[in-house]
């Protein structure tokens, strides 16, 4: 696509990520063009570009320097920075250089484009950014499980209300999916759905993420920035893993839930928000209230309507349907031929108890299809993916090898535990004797999704 027809510039030197972002951008109504370096992005940007998605790690001129140069050329064009780092300094540098916002890896594509939609504002000098035409929301609440049928009936009723919803259940059961479906079933379906992962950021960054900040609020805050509660004001804000929100921020969140008002960090102007709040947790909030790490009044403000999502092992009737959905998504993402399972392979998946729930099932199918030589997946390939020698078996072998550094031992021990618990962050934290936030930090440090 020629630059003159494009309105979104994607800057990333990873070809796979570049293609993935381009496909997702088209699905969201954008006309993307891609650059592999900062210099190339400077050569491609023109008055037709309405937004930029940029990775911080670029060859030659890095993302921070590139943002500064793009900002000099087109100061009104918003830039979303992609960074694999959770430390405050990288985010502050990006904001100081002129980035409008940032998102840390790993991230959901939908969250990125929700953020992009919330950040890009039409102006008199630029035409309105391309967005998909308004249509009937794509809501899929089909199930064969009696428990899930009851849950979906409750979700549909709750969707029409403005009440705060608390989704509880094990990690990987689909809480984000349920939250999005509730949003799509609600009168707010055409407004923003914005996700905030509470343990993914340090306290200082999470505070500005939720509530925004004013210019000069901290070193590097060269411009004011609206927080997620403001950006989701007419839509829905999804607070994922709310049980890990730092204690210091709990009173401020409580005030927003009670009064629908907030102050940005470093500001004294009162902002109102009409955001509908959906929160999710895989931990026992009652126990945390009793332990004194979670405010009781905040718990009751969040727990207006509780929807409990059962683990996959308790609704195995849905496994065939979930498999079809996952395989269809893999086909769409890879632009490949359709995949199918042999009868025995499907039976093997049906019998497994799935400690990591739907997320683990997704990982198994991703691995099995990645290494299969045929569009039909057989039992051996499924068993191979379930007993994958990557990374758990590798970790077991590696730990017995001499000459390992402390960092290598840490990485392999963490991966072993993380895989053994079915990628359940809460269980991993308990087994290792660390906080769930530390689990996220270790995931980022060791390059795990």
Same fold, 3-106 and 146-310: yes
CB contact set of 188 (below 8 Å; sequence gap of 6+): 234, 235, 236, 276
What's the DSSP call for residue 390?
I
Residue ranges per domain, the chain?
3-106, 146-310, 313-387, 390-445
Return the H-helix or E-strand segment holding 79: strand 79-83
pLDDT band at 409 (very low <50, low <70, confident <90, very high): low
- With left for phi above 0 and alpha for psi between -120 and 50, is residue 369 left, alpha or beta? alpha
- Indicate the SS3 state at residue 102: strand
Q: Work out whether strand 376-377 and strand 340-341 pair parallel, antiparallel, or are unpaired.
A: parallel
- Phi then psi for residue 389, to 5 deg, are -70, -10
Q: Which residue has the higher pLDDT, 158 or 384?
A: 158
Q: Are 209 and 196 in contact (CB under 8 A)?
A: yes
Query: Which one is predicted more confidently, 204 or 91?
Result: 204
> In this structure, which topology does domain 390-445 adopt according to CATH?
Arc Repressor Mutant, subunit A (1.10.10)
Q: Is 126 exposed, middle or buried (0-12, 13-18, 19+ CB in 10 A)?
A: middle
Continuous H helices in 222-353? 228-231, 250-259, 285-291, 296-302, 319-334, 343-351
CATH architecture of 313-387: Orthogonal Bundle (1.10)
347-366 burial, b at 16+ Cβ within 10 Å, e below that, comes to ebbeebebbbbbbbbbbbbe
What distance in Å separates the CA atoms of residue 51 and residue 415, rounded to the nearest whole number? 37
- Sign of the alpha-carbon dihedral angle for 183, 283, 437, 207: positive
Which of 99-113, 156-170, 312-326 shows the lowest per-residue confidence on average (mean pLDDT)? 99-113
- What average pLDDT score do residues 128-144 get? 56
Cα 299 to Cα 303: distance, rounded to the nearest angstrom: 6
Query: Which CATH architecture does the domain made up of 146-310 adopt?
Result: 3-Layer(aba) Sandwich (3.40)
Whether 12 shows a pLDDT value over 80: the answer reads yes
Q: Supply the pLDDT for residue 53.
A: 92
As a whole number, the mean pLDDT across the chain is 82
* Each residue's pLDDT tens digit, 356-375: 899 889 988 988 888 888 88
Who contacts 224 (Cβ-Cβ below 8 Å, separation ≥6)? 212, 213, 214, 215, 264, 267
Helical residues (DSSP H) of 304-445, grouped into ranges: 319-334, 343-351, 357-371, 379-386, 394-399, 406-420, 425-432, 436-445
* pLDDT tens per residue, range 252-305: 999 999 989 999 999 999 999 999 999 999 999 999 999 999 999 999 999 999
Query: How many Cβ atoms sit within 10 Å of the Cβ of residue 411?
Result: 20
**What confidence tens digit (pLDDT) does each residue in 103-126 have?**
877 677 777 888 888 777 544 334
For 342-354, the pLDDT digits (tens) are 999 999 999 888 9
Distance CA 70, CA 90 (A): 18
Q: What is the pLDDT of residue 443?
A: 78
Task: Rounding to the nearest 10 degrees, give the CA dihedral for residues 154, 155, 161, 162.
Answer: 130
Buried b / exposed e along 226-248 (16+ C-beta atoms within 10 A): bbbbbbbbebbbbbbbbbbbbee
Which tens digits make up the pLDDT trace of 221-248? 778 889 999 999 889 999 999 999 999 9
Q: How far apart are CA 131 and CA 118, in angstroms?
A: 11
| Higher-pLDDT residue of 296, 408 | 296
CATH class of the 3-106 domain in this structure: alpha beta
Give the three-state DSSP class for 163. Answer: coil
% of the chain exceeding 70 in pLDDT: 85
Q: Examine residue 433 and say whether the peptide bond preceding it is cis (omega within 30 degrees of 0).
A: no
- Chain-centre distance for alpha carbon 171: 14
Spatial CA neighbour of 55 closest among 29, 16, 1: 16
pTM comes to: 0.63
Q: What pLDDT is recorded for position 316?
A: 93
Is 80 within 8 Å of 112 (Cβ atoms)? yes
Torsion angle of the four alpha carbons 222, 224, 229, 232, in this order, in degrees rounded to the nearest 10: -100
- Within 13 Å and on the Cβ side, how many CA atoms surround 300? 3
């Amino acid at each position: 696509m020629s630059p003159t027809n494009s309105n979104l510039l994607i800057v990333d030197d990873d070809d796979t990520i570049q293609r993935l972002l381009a496909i997702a951008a088209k699905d969201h109504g954008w006309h993307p063009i891609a650059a592999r370096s900062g210099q190339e992005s400077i050569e491609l940007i023109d008055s037709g570009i309405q937004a930029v998605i940029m990775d911080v790690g670029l060859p030659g001129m890095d993302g921070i320097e590139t943002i500064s140069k793009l900002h000099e050329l087109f100061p009104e064009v918003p830039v979303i920075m992609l960074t694999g780092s959770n430390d405050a300094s990288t985010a502050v540098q990006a904001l100081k250089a002129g980035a409008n916002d940032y998102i840390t890896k790993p991230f959901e594509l939908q969250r990125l484009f929700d953020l992009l939609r919330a950040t890009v504002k039409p102006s008199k000098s630029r035409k309105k950014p391309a967005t998909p035409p308004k249509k009937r929301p794509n809501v899929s609440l089909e199930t064969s499980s009696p428990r899930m049928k009851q849950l979906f009936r409750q979700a549909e009723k709750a969707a029409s209300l403005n009440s705060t919803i608390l989704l509880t259940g094990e990690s990987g059961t689909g809480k984000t999916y349920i939250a999005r479906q509730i949003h799509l079933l609600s009168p707010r379906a055409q407004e923003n759905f914005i996700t905030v992962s509470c343990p993914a950021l340090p306290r200082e960054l999470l505070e500005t993420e939720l509530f925004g900040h004013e210019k000069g609020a901290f070193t590097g805050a060269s411009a004011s920035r609206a927080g997620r509660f403001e950006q989701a004001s007419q839509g829905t804000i999804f607070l994922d893993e709310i049980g890990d929100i730092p204690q210091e921020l709990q009173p401020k969140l409580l005030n927003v839930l009670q009064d629908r008002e907030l102050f940005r960090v470093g500001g004294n102007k009162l902002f109102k928000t009409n955001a509908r709040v959906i929160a999710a947790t895989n931990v026992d909030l009652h126990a945390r209230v009793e332990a004194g790490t979670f405010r009781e009044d905040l718990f009751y403000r969040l727990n207006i309507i509780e929807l409990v999502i059962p683990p996959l092992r308790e609704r195995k009737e849905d496994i065939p349907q979930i498999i079809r959905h996952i395989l269809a998504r893999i086909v769409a993402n890879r632009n490949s031929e359709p995949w199918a399972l042999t009868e025995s392979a499907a039976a093997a998946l049906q019998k497994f108890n799935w400690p990591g729930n739907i997320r683990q099932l997704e990982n198994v199918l991703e691995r099995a299809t990645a290494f299969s030589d045929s569009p039909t997946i057989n039992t051996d390939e499924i068993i191979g993916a379930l007993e994958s020698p990557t990374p758990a078996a590798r970790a077991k072998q590696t730990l017995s090898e001499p000459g390992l550094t402390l960092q290598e031992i840490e990485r392999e021990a963490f991966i072993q535990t993380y895989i053994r618990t079915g990628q359940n962050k809460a269980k991993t934290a308990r087994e290792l004797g660390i906080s769930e936030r530390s689990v996220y930090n270790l995931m980022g440090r060791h390059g795990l999704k």
